[in-house]
Amino acid sequence: MTNSWTKLRKGDPMYGCFISTGSTASVEVLGGAGFDFLVIDLEHGMSSERDMLSQLQAMEHTPAIGCVRVESHERIRVGRVLDFGAQGVMFPRVDNAEQARACVAAMRYPPDGDRGVAVLVRASRYGAQFAEYREKSRETLLTMVQIETAEAVKNVDEIATVDGADVLFVGPMDLTTSMGIFRQYDHPEFLKALEKAVAAARRNKRAAGILVPAAADTRRYLDLGFTFLMCGTDIAFLQTAGRGVAETMRKS
């Protein structure tokens, strides 16, 4: 079983987007579009658990790594996502080190965590590779904790010290809302928060991640020190392309 996250752990940037429609076709199209990873969004997206399974199956036939953003930190919920074959889990709204430790524990088998043990699951090829999967899961699975409140920024140094919190992922819209500066991505306080998150990640050898407002902003965030960058969703891509075509046709 190969470690899909070697590039990120070496400090090289990786790029992805969200899948919000619950569509396997979206996964197949975007999985082959050049992204390093895709994140199926169970927090805000339309996917059900069954949709998630079929999307992970579709993603396996593309170069993209399959990840899931869960809607809660529940241990049982996270375990099901992992058993289905997700190679990374994004946890929304992680406000302190205690929550971060619980997230990491849900990702790891005992004695390192409290993930439930089941052999005949898709992640281990239905048991055919369970020993290898279990042994290497600490390296092959990626834990992403979202920094998206003022409370999380205040505690980001402690969050970053949690062993296994691989990516500190900033959610700009939630964070600016929490700070009372909704979508003001050039506001000095927001920029200070980004600097603090990146510095904490660097000190503790974590990756800093962020959802960039637009693809053209990528260089700006790379220069700030982010290496795990996402942009957009399948819904946004479809909407933007559709509007562009409709506008062009009406102007003809």
112, part of any domain: yes
Q: Give the pLDDT confidence score for residue 52 in this predicted structure.
A: 94
How does DSSP assign 195-240, residue by residue? HHHHHHHHHTTPEEEEE-SSGGGHHHHHHHT--EEEEEEHHHHHHH
17, part of any domain: yes
Question: What is the Cα–Cα distance from 189 to 184, expressed in whole angstroms?
Answer: 9
CATH of the domain at 211: 3.20.20.60
State the total domains in the chain. 1
Q: What is the pLDDT of residues 190-237, one digit of tens each?
A: 999 999 999 999 999 999 999 999 999 999 999 999 999 999 999 999
Catalytic residue among 44, 61, 73, 187: 44
Q: Give the pLDDT confidence score for residue 4 in this predicted structure.
A: 87
184, part of any domain: yes
Range of the domain at 189: 6-246
With beta carbons less than 8 A apart as the criterion, state whether 192 and 182 touch: no
251, part of any domain: no
Question: What is the Cα–Cα distance from 252 to 116, expressed in whole angstroms?
Answer: 59
1, part of any domain: no
Average pLDDT of the residues in 162-166? 98
191, part of any domain: yes
Average pLDDT of the residues in 148-175? 98
**Tokens, residue 142:** 């990626």
10, part of any domain: yes
Can you give the C-alpha Rg of the chain in angstroms? 18
Evaluate if residue 49 carries a pLDDT over 90: no
CB atoms within 10 A of CB 189: 13
Residues of the chain above pLDDT 90, percent: 97
Q: Give the pLDDT confidence score for residue 24 in this predicted structure.
A: 97
Instruction: Determine whether 73 is an active site residue.
Output: no
57, part of any domain: yes
